[in-house]
Chain A
Amino acid sequence: MTFEERGRLIEAVRAVSFAMGREKLGIVGESGSGKSQTGRAILGLTDGKVEAETLRFQDMDLLKVNAAARRSLRGGGIGMVMQDPKFSLNPVMRIGKQLVEALRAHERVSSSDARRRALDMLEAVQIDDPERVYRAFPHELSGGMGQRAMIAMMLLPGPDLLIADEPTSALDVTVQQTVLRIMDRLVQERGMGLILISHDLELVATFCDRILVMYAGRIVETLEASNLHEAKHPYTQGLMACLPSARTRGRPLRVMQRDTAWLGGEAPRP
Chain B
Amino acid sequence: MTLISVANLDISFGSGADRVDAVKDVSFEVGSKESFGLVGESGSGKSTILRALAGLNPNWQGTITYDGEALASRQKLAFHKKVQMVFQDPFGSLHPRQTVDQTLREPLAIHRMDERERRILEALDQVRLGPEFRFRFPHQLSGGQRQRVAVARALILEPETLLLDEPTSALDVSIQAEILNLLVELRQSLALTFVLVSHNLGVIGHMCDRLAVMQQGRILEFADGAVLEDGAFETGYAQQLYRASQGYSREALETA
A residues with CB within 8 A of B = 30-31, 172-174, 176-178, 180-181, 184, 199, 201-203, 205-207, 238-239, 242-249, 252-256
Contacts and interface: CB of A to CB of B under 8 A. Distances in A.
Given A173-B199, A173-B241, A199 B173 contact: yes
Most central of A184, A253, A255 by chain B CB within 10 Å? A253
Most central of B41, B178, B247 by chain A CB within 10 Å? B247
A84 B5 CA distance: 38
B228 A245 contact: yes
Interface residues of B, number: 37
A252 B206 CA distance: 9
B206 A177 contact: no
**9 nearest interchain CB pairs?**
A246-B205, A206-B247, A244-B206, A246-B228, A242-B177, A173-B244, A172-B41, A253-B177, A30-B172
A89 to B, nearest CB: 19
Given A177-B244, A181-B250, A253-B206, 6 more contacts: A30-B173, A172-B42, A184-B248, A203-B247, A249-B206, A255-B181
Given A172-B199, A255-B174, A206 B248 contact: yes
Interface of B: 41-42, 172-174, 176-178, 180-181, 184-185, 199-203, 205-207, 225-229, 240-241, 244-250, 252-253, 256
Main secondary structure of the interface of B (DSSP, over half): helix
Contact of B225 (A202, A238, A246, A255): A246
Most central of A201, A238, A242 by chain B CB within 10 Å? A242
Contacts of A238: 174
A246 B206 contact: yes
Given A206-B247, A252-B181, A246 B173 contact: no
A104 to B, nearest CB: 33
Contacts of A202: 246-247
Contact of B253 (A31, A178, A205, A207): A178
